[in-house]
Structure 1
Amino acid sequence: MSDLVEGRWAEIFGPRYLPVTTILALGVTLFAFNAFLSAAALPSAVHELGGVEVISWATTLYLVFAIVGGAAAALLKRRLGSRGSLVGLAIVFLIGTLIAAIANDMTQVLVGRAVQGFGEGVVAALCFALIPELFPSRLVPKVFGMQAVVWAVAAFGGPAGAGALTELISWRAAFLINVPFVLIFVAMVLLVVPRGERPVEAHGFPGLRLLTIGAGTMLVALAAVTEPAQAALLLVGAAVLLTAAVWLDRRADQRLMPPDAFSLRSAVGSGLWVFLLMPVAGAATAVYLIMLLQQLWGYGPTQAAITGAVMAVAWSLSSVTVANVRQRATRRILIRSGPLFLAGGLVLVLLGLEWTLLPVLLVGQVAIGMGFGMSNGYIMLTIMEASTAAERDRTSALLPTTQSAGNALGAALAGVAANAAGYPHAVGNADVLASIVPLFVMGALFAVLAFLAALRLTQLAKVTPLATFAEE
């Protein structure tokens, strides 16, 4: 194919697109900040309110309800319109924030986190759905590059800010800091996003499908904190429920997903598999690396966190760098190379830990970050382009939901692999190093599966008619 028209970075920050860019950045920031909030603020909440036994559920419920909300996002957009959905669900998120901030016990905190998760899951998914609607195709890689940078800043600056607020004021202030950002977000949506026409639909709410998705995700979350044998059964049950949800959705009159979701016979379905499998593979380092650095090398929390942040920095920088690529052939190479870089990076991180060589580990971290950064934007763009105009809302909204599901599934599988290999009971460094080998091998194998799905995606995308995005 011929070269694509090049978009410039200045355009997405220019007067025409800056308001929309700001809305998307705020949506990503709120999701990233609150996904990592629990690590900084909730220990102080537990100290004040009690309930240490349920502290992990503050993050689990947020992510589970975010996935359910993301699954419902396209339906809500069709019923309420982009503007109504964004404003309405931002207010839902705000209500959850206030419930958690004024809580008198941990049960109320958990309720607030669940409400937060549902609201922000919808908002994050709708922000993705707005990208092909409000930006021309040539600017979409720039938008994804911007989002990668915002995510990295929010993911690592957010917990630090929440920690500072907790230490200087209160853990409640770490929740309440969301309030002005949500109000700014709502004001900008009202000013920028067109009202549009609100279609009238008399069909019922897809409660069974959303319940099935939520139950399947909850089983995945439970698998991360149970014994290996029980975890395996829970993961099988989760697979059955989530498969059933996709099957039910394909036969519904009002679908939550595109009809070819997770079908290897289409570019959209193959791309969603890549988008699911790469976070599953990356969970080996996302979940365990910082803890392993403290355990094996005696790093303090800050030093370990900085080492772990190398991956996010590489992700952001590589995403910005490749956003200028115009050749479709080069984009296909980047999509295929991403999972390979991820697999190679996981092997290098394992070798760095085994050999106690920081440079090898850092190269592995950079490779993992580059694997995600060089491919993610073009995977999403290819999926969006392969989707028909009628299905683009469902497809776009499903992208962050699929990624969140991959993170949850990866964390559960990583826990199963590490627990089955004896990691929780390992005493000396030699035992710890032996127990993490299956964890990283499993991650590398999932990266290889992601590569095979990426090959399928790029093969099918060659013959898929390209959709027309927003016109200039």
Structure 2
Amino acid sequence: MSNPKPEPGWGALLSGANAVRSLALAGGVALHAINVYIATTILPSVVTDIGGLDYYAWNTTLFVAASILGSALSSKLLLHAGPRNAYAISAVAFAIGTAICGFAPSMPVMLAGRFVQGFGGGFLLSLSYAMIRLVFAEALWSRAMALVSGMWGVATLVGPAIGGVFAEFGVWRAAFWSLVPLAVLFGVLAATVLPRQMGDRDGAAALPLSQLVLLIAAVLVVSIGSVSANISRNFAGAAGALTLTLLLIAVERRATDRLLPDGAFQLSATLGSLYAVMSLLAVTVTSSEVFVPLFLQVLHAQSPLAAGYLAALMAAGWTVGSITSSSLGSKGVSRAVLVSPVLGVTGMSMLAVLMPVQTGGDWLVLALICVALFSIGFGVGLAWPHLLTRVLQVAPRDQQALASASITTVQLFATALGAALAGMIANLAGLAEPGGTAGTANAARWLFAAFAICPLLCLWIIARRSPMRPARQTQPAE
């Protein structure tokens, strides 16, 4: 018997025609991700210039809601327009929304631009993952997933720098304008190197309108409730989002037209356990990222720029973890997925103890905080490419396009809910009232301690359900 053929390495992904395809797909994710951090950085300058402080939070709320909508609709766009045209249309939509933001004379116009931008960005995110299975051999899927996922780490380093420089010089609009030609460039590149038609025609079901409405409504409700300083509104928002999510699950299980593949809401199914682990890991990262820059400035005497880049260590860890684990064999993958939540629990526990300690920038405390941030991101990065690849492997064969789109839908939904719940816990712990250093310290303590539960739940699911078993299985219809 001949020796088994060795797995192709990074060279196969980053050379020849694959290199150009990788650039196109990674570039779409990078555009969306860099824009997220640019907007966060320049938003204070935006409201100072055009007003609309009362609608500050809606910049994020509408953007995420539109991204979820674009992500959910991406499989339909891919099916009807084909890979090449679908990606080009998404890039044009993103460019139009970005241009509207750059020229916005008022906050209502800015919000309209953010919605269009998020819609196009959601398409780009989901299509980038979906096209991995269409343009690369299966042996390259995990590396391609690592490359695409790693763009978030790059964006966290680049986005604040771009936004900060333009805001510092008083030309925040130019931060948006700088992304328009890049979007057009990647659209043209995609139109050149991606295939015109799909190799299969799965996923032709009608639009799951009811589920989409419930999904977006849940995000909006919890987001509205979480930004209020009123405790009763926080709880009302969380309760409303939970109710809408349960209703979504009930509707999805009975629906003919699906938003997610069969088995997505069954924890006993491999696909359901994968989505649960992905969601919990996304919530772990989001809950930390939202407030880390603020905590570092208030409690550890760091400048906004320094705090932003210290917080970026989490994204850097995610990128390093993704690349490190991309070449692991099946046994190594199982260990990496198990180690991931262990690092998450350790990092969140360290932050719960260290972050509330008020220092004048003590280097030892800051160094340990940096280790904790990097560890959380590194842990998620170890597991993330393999969880995503496994979703594509175990999804029903006639729902592959739906499974590809669902990766981003689930991630964005978990991210939105995680950010909103983090805001609720921080407010309840005293971030706004009494506020100050004492309130901020208490908020940091409770926030990290509460969300340490998420990686613990991941450990339980992995131990009980073994979602990374090598056996290739197709989930039965519900």
TM-score (norm 1): 0.91
- 1:127 and 2:135 correspond: no
Q: State the 1:5 CA deviation.
A: 4.1
Assess if the C-alpha contact under 8 Å between 1:266 and 1:460 holds in 2: no
For 1:281, the aligned partner's letter is: T
Q: State the 1:433 CA deviation.
A: 3.0
Q: After the TM superposition, which of the residue ranges 310-319 and 199-208 deviates more from structure 2?
A: 199-208
Match of 1:344 among 334, 346, 349: 346
For 2:239, the aligned partner's letter is: V
- 1:406 and 2:397 correspond: no
| C-alpha spacing 1:135/1:168, structure 2 compared with 1 (3 Å) | same
Q: Which residue of 1 aligns with 2:67?
A: 66
Q: State the 1:208 CA deviation.
A: 2.7
- 1:230 and 2:233 correspond: yes
Matches within 5 A, 1:179-258: 179-196=180-197, 205-226=207-228, 227-258=230-261
Deviations 1:315-362 (A, max 9, x none): 212221111212x12211111221121111000122222456223222
In 2: Cα distance, 1:202 partner to 1:8 partner = 34
- How many residues align structurally? 465
Deviations 1:237-258 (A, max 9, x none): 2122233234333433332221
TM-score (norm 2): 0.90
Match of 1:382 among 390, 400, 423: 390
Q: State the 1:456 CA deviation.
A: 4.5
Q: State the 1:44 CA deviation.
A: 2.9
Q: State the 1:366 CA deviation.
A: 2.2
In 2: Cα distance, 1:65 partner to 1:16 partner = 32
Q: State the 1:62 CA deviation.
A: 0.7
| C-alpha spacing 1:32/1:203, structure 2 compared with 1 (3 Å) | closer
Unmatched segments (≥5 aa) in structure 2: 360-364
Secondary structure, counterpart of 2:28 in structure 1: helix
Q: Which residue of 2 aligns with 1:164?
A: 165
Deviations 1:142-194 (A, max 9, x none): 22222243221222212211332344472222112222112112212211221
Assess if the C-alpha contact under 8 Å between 2:356 and 2:444 holds in 1: no
- 1:454 and 2:462 correspond: yes
Matches within 5 A, 1:41-440: 41-168=42-169, 170-196=171-197, 205-226=207-228, 227-326=230-329, 328-354=330-356, 357-426=365-434, 429=437, 432-440=440-448
Q: State the 1:105 CA deviation.
A: 1.2
For 2:250, the aligned partner's letter is: W
In 1: Cα distance, 2:438 partner to 2:186 partner = 50
Q: After the TM superposition, which of the residue ranges 102-111 and 252-261 deviates more from structure 2?
A: 252-261
Assess if the C-alpha contact under 8 Å between 1:41 and 1:163 holds in 2: yes
Superposed CA RMSD in Å reads 2.6
| C-alpha spacing 1:364/1:163, structure 2 compared with 1 (3 Å) | closer
Q: Percent identity?
A: 29
In 2: Cα distance, 1:112 partner to 1:459 partner = 40
Assess if the C-alpha contact under 8 Å between 1:384 and 1:395 holds in 2: yes
Secondary structure, counterpart of 2:197 in structure 1: coil
For 2:348, the aligned partner's letter is: L
Q: State the 1:457 CA deviation.
A: 4.9
In 2: Cα distance, 1:427 partner to 1:242 partner = 32
In 2: Cα distance, 1:4 partner to 1:431 partner = 59
Q: State the 1:81 CA deviation.
A: 2.6
